[in-house]
Structure 1
Amino acid sequence: MTDQAVGIGQGCPESSFMAKKMLIDATHPEETRVAVVQGNKLEDFDFESAARQQLNGNIYLAKVT
């Protein structure tokens, strides 16, 4: 694949070539931390703790009256 085939040097922003990375820290069994970074920028951070109830990602059915 040539540089032109992927758009290198054609005015594309440099950030479009940076890969996102997911960093996971699960060294402690009671807590897990997850960070998503792109280049040097933190895109997202989340953590789960055994001591607190996790609501992120759960789906609930409710009726609002």
Structure 2
Amino acid sequence: MSAISNYAQQSKQTKRFIWLGYLLSQVYIWLLHGFDDLIENITPTDNPFVLLAVAFGLYWLIVFLILWATDN
């Protein structure tokens, strides 16, 4: 069963927790610059394309972890 179809079967409260976790992660990333130090430790470079690629990868990692958490 895919995570997306399983998401549709979750209770309303579970969906709220999923979206709350997603929104909190976005606030942490974008407003509080939560992953800046982590990204600099992963890629100690000033190349903006490498830094953007790592940030994009961390963003999608969070998305896939949320989808995985909804799977039974």
TM-score range, shorter chain: under 0.3
Looking at both structures, which has the greater relative contact order when contacts are Cα pairs under 8 Å and sequence separation is at least 6? 2
Structure 1 or 2: more helix by fraction = 2
Query: TM-score when scaled to structure 1?
Result: 0.24
Larger Rg: 1
